[in-house]
Amino acid sequence: MLSEKANKIFEKAIEVYHIKDNIYQNYDNPYPPNSLERLLYKKAWIDTVQWHIEDEIRNPKVTPEQALKWKREIDKSNQDRTDTVERIDSYFLEKYKEIKPRPSARINTESPAWAIDRLSILALKIYHMRLEANRKDSDKEQRKKCSFKLDILLEQQRDLSQSIDELLEDIEHGTRYMKVYRQMKMYNDPKLNPVLYAQDDEKK
C-alpha cells in the first residue's frame, strides 16, 4: 500500500532531521532521482524544517528583523512545498495516463498528492505530540491531555492512509479519476503582485 510506504518515509525524514535538529543542516535525500520515494522524503523534509521555523517566529522575544527573516523563509518553504506536491501529482498522472475512467467515474475533492501532503503534516504532529506525551518535565495532567490528542492523531493517520489507498485503487479501476489544477500563487509573481509590479512601474 502506498500509504504504508509514505508513512515510513515521512517518519524516517523526521527522525533524521531531529538527530541534529538544525533548520540549516545539510539535506541528504537517500532515494534515487526521479523516484516517488525521493519526492516523499523531500516533502517530509520541507515540512519538518518549516515546522521549526514556525516555532521560531512565535518566540515572543523575536525581533522584527528576525521575524521578517523567518517570514521570508516560510514563503520560500511554502513555494517549495507546493512545487513538490505538484511533482508528486505529476508522478501519478504519468502512472495512470493509460487508465480510461468509466462513464460513471467520479472526481475526488483533492488530488492524491494533496492528500499525501496532509499525511506528511500528520506524521509531524504525531512525532511532536508523542514527545509532549512523554515529556518528563511536564505535569501528569498535561501528559495525559497530550496522550489523548496523540490517540486522535493516530486515528486520523489510519483513516487518511486508508482513504488515500482507496482513492488510488479507485483511480486504477477507473471508478474515480484525478484532475490536477496547478497552484496559481500570485504573491510570488512580480507580474501579478500589485506591490511588486508597482515598484517596476516606478523605475520606468
Burial environment of residue 171 by CB neighbours within 10 A (0 to 12, 13 to 18, 19 or more): buried
Mean pLDDT in each 10-residue stretch from start to end of the chain (204 residues)? 97 98 95 97 98 95 94 94 96 95 94 97 98 92 96 98 98 94 71 73 59
Q: What is the pLDDT of residue 59?
A: 93
Q: Which three cell numbers stand for residue 91?
A: 508522478
pTM here?
0.90
Q: What is the pLDDT of residue 189?
A: 72
State the Cα–Cα distance between residues 74 and 53, nearest whole angstrom. Answer: 7
Angle CA 36–79–112, to nearest 5: 40
Sequence-distant (6+) residues with CB within 8 A of 142 are 132, 135
Q: What is the pLDDT of residue 184?
A: 66
